[in-house]
Chains A and B, each alone.
Chain A
C-alpha cells in the first residue's frame, strides 16, 4: 500500500514542455507513473515523446481531464503563473494537485489554497519535491534510485535532506511505503498531520520518519497529534539547530520569528510526545531499526 498515490493514479503534467517539466516527466514515466496527459497553453494537439510512447498535450486542464480521465496533476509552471495553474487544476476535477514550483508569492498561495479547500482537492506543496511510492510510481522530483519498497513512511519539509535520510534507510535495507515532501513555504496545502493520519490508515506502514525544520509550529502540533492518535512509532529529526533568529534559511518558511519556531523547542516537544529524535541524519536509520525491532 501507499498514501495519496498508487497504481490507479492517472497524472497530468502542467508545464510538460518546460525545462523542468519535460525532464521530470521522463523520470516519472521511468519510475512507473501513468502520465496520461500534459498541459502547456498554446501547444495543444502536440505530443510529448518518451521511451514508453507519446503523451498527448492539451491547452487546458479541462480538456486534458475530459479526454484522459486524469485524477491527479503536478505543477512545474514558473512561479508567476503557478497559483493560477493550481486553481485551474482544482477546477478540472482532479483529486490531487502536487505543486513543485518554488518562489510562488505567499499571498497568491493564500488564495489558491482556499480555492483548493473549497473544492475538496488535496494540494501538496508548493516548493516541495512531491512524493514517491517505490514500485508504484512517483509524482514530482524525488530520485527513484535512492528508494526501495518497504515498511517505512517518510514525511518531510525538505528536499535533499529527505533524500539523505531515505538513501541511508535504503542502504541499510529498509524500504519505504511512501516518501512525501510537504514543502518549505509558509503556506502549504498538505501538512504533517494529514500525512501522519494517512500513514496511520495504511496497513503496510509500520513506522514513520518525520523530518522538520525551524519556523512555525507545524511540527509541534503534529507531535501532539502523534501522542494522541498514532499507534505506530514515529522517529523525528529537526534541521536548523545552528540557525540564527530572524533570518530566512533558504526555504521561505524556515525562519525563527522572535523566540518561536526554534529547533530546540521542536525537539523538546517531539520528545515530550514520545517521538525519538535523531541528533544526526545517520541516527534516523538506527532509530528506525530499533522502532521496527530489527
Chain B
C-alpha cells in the first residue's frame, strides 16, 4: 500500500528523523491558514500516489499566504497521471545547500532489506542508476543483526565529507531503518535529504510503501489508507478479497490464480484483443466472490465481453459454475459471458452451466479466441 508524503513524514517524525513541520489541507482556505501559521514562505505539494508531481505542476513555491491559497486552488482537483488531487501538503520552504538520496527497500536478489544512498539527490534515482551507477552505494542489511554502526558510517561518508554532517546522517540512517522495520515497509525513501546553509541535515520529501501482507498487524498504518486515491473498482475488489487491476481494453477477465490470470490476458492480446482487467478470484471461489467479480467487471463501460478461465485444482469448477448462475440471477449482466472450466468437478460444472443456458468450453485457446472475436464485432 502506498501512503501519502504527509503520512510518510508522520512516520519519519515518530522515528526521530528531522522533518520540517507542515500539515495537510483539503481546501484553499485551509491551505492559506496553514501557510500563514508557517510564516507565508511555503511549498504547496499535491498529495497523490504517483511520481512526477513537480513536472505536472503539482508542487509550487509561495512567498505569501495569499499566493499559497492561489496555488492550492490550482492544485486541488488537478489530475496527475490520471489521479485527482484531493489534498495538498503545506510545508515551509527550505534553503538548500545540497541534496542527497537515501532509501531502504527489499532487494529480491540479496533477499534482505538493502540501503541505497547517493549524493545525487532530488532527481529520479533510477535515472542516476542508469547514467552514473558509481554515484550510488548499495548496502545489504543482514536481517540477523540489522543496520550496524559501521554500515551507517560508511554510507554517511559516501554522502558527506564534513564530520558534522556525517554524524547527523548516520543517526538518520538508523532512524530510517527503524521506521522501515517497525512499519513493515517494502520501500522507505528520503529524496532529497538536504543540507541547509547552516549545516542541518533534513528530510524534505518522503515516500513509503507498506507491505500489504503486514497490514493486518499494523492497524495505525492501515488507517492511512486513502480510498479517494484509488479507483472505486479496486476498493471494492480489495474488500471482496479479489486481486484486481484495471486496464484499458474491452475483454473482461475472471481467472483463478495470478499466473494463469496473466497468461489469460496475454492470450487475449495474442488473439488480437485487449484485456479490460487483471482479476484473480483466488482459491476458494464461493458464489459471493464470483458475484463481486462480475459486479466489478460490468461496472467498466468498456467491457464488451466477459471471459472466465478456471483451472480447478483446489477451486472446484462446480462452485464457480454455481456462482456464475447465481450472479446472473442477482445482477443484470449485459455483456455475454464465455466460460472455460477444466479440472476438479468439471463434468458437474458443465452440466450446471448447460442447465442454466450457458455454453462452456474446456480449452483455454478456444474460449479466448471466441471471446476476442465477439468483442471485435461488438
Contact = CB atoms under 8 A, between A and B. Distances in A.
Contacts of B365: 280, 282
B181 interface: yes
A167 B311 contact: yes
A233 interface: no
B245 A247 contact: yes
B260 to A, nearest CB: 4
21 contacts: A105-B214, A105-B217, A106-B213, A107-B211, A143-B314, A146-B313, A158-B259, A160-B259, A160-B315, A161-B257, A163-B260, A164-B263, A187-B111, A216-B108, A240-B262, A242-B275, A243-B278, A248-B243, A248-B245, A249-B245, A254-B259
A136 B212 CA distance: 37
A244 B245 contact: yes
Given A143-B313, A242-B269, A242-B275, A106 B106 contact: yes
B144 interface: yes
A95 interface: no
Contacts of B278: 243, 247, 249-250
A211 B260 CA distance: 11
A276 interface: no
Q: Which of B106, B258, B343, B364 has the most CB of A within 10 A?
A: B258
Contact of B106 (A110, A167, A240): A110
B344 A105 contact: no
Interface residues of B, number: 50
Contact of A159 (B111, B113, B257, B269): B257
Interface in B257-281: 257-263, 265-270, 275, 278, 280
Given A111-B144, A211-B259, A249-B258, A167 B343 contact: yes
A58 B184 CA distance: 32
Given A213-B262, A239-B263, A250-B278, A258 B126 contact: yes
Interface string B230-267: 00000000000001010100000001111111110111
Given A104-B213, A253-B108, A160 B313 contact: yes
Interface string B185-225: 01000000000000000000000000111101100000000
B342 interface: yes
Contacts of A129: 313
Nearest to B110: A110
Nearest to A185: B213
Given A187-B108, A216-B108, A242-B265, 13 more contacts: A107-B106, A107-B211, A114-B144, A160-B311, A162-B259, A163-B343, A164-B364, A240-B262, A240-B266, A249-B278, A250-B243, A259-B126, A279-B270
A159 B108 CA distance: 20
B186 A106 contact: yes
A250 B216 CA distance: 18
A141 B364 CA distance: 22
A191 B217 CA distance: 29
Contacts of A237: 263
Contacts of B150: none
B258 A250 contact: yes
A104 B212 CA distance: 10
Contacts of B343: 143, 146, 163, 167
Nearest to A263: B266
B259 A161 contact: yes
A251 interface: yes
A217 interface: yes
Contact of B213 (A105, A258, A263, A282): A105
Contacts of A80: 216-217
B301 interface: no
A133 interface: no
A129 B275 CA distance: 27
Contact of A156 (B259, B267, B314): B259
A243 B181 CA distance: 30
A251 B106 contact: no
Given A158-B257, A160-B259, A254-B258, A143 B106 contact: no
B143 to A, nearest CB: 4
B264 to A, nearest CB: 9
A168 to B, nearest CB: 9
Given A161-B260, A258-B126, A114 B143 contact: yes
A186 B245 contact: no
A250 B260 CA distance: 10
A107 B113 contact: yes
B55 interface: no
Contacts of B311: 160, 163-164, 167
A125 to B, nearest CB: 14
A250 B256 CA distance: 10
Nearest to B50: A246
B329 interface: no
Residue among A103, A239, A259 facing the most chain B CB atoms (10 A cut-off):
A239
A144 to B, nearest CB: 10
Most buried by B among A79, A249, A252, A254: A249
Contacts of A162: 259
B184 A239 contact: no
Contacts of B334: none
A105 B184 contact: yes
B143 A107 contact: yes
Interface in A30-85: 79-80
A279 B263 CA distance: 10
Contacts of B255: 160
Nearest to B144: A114
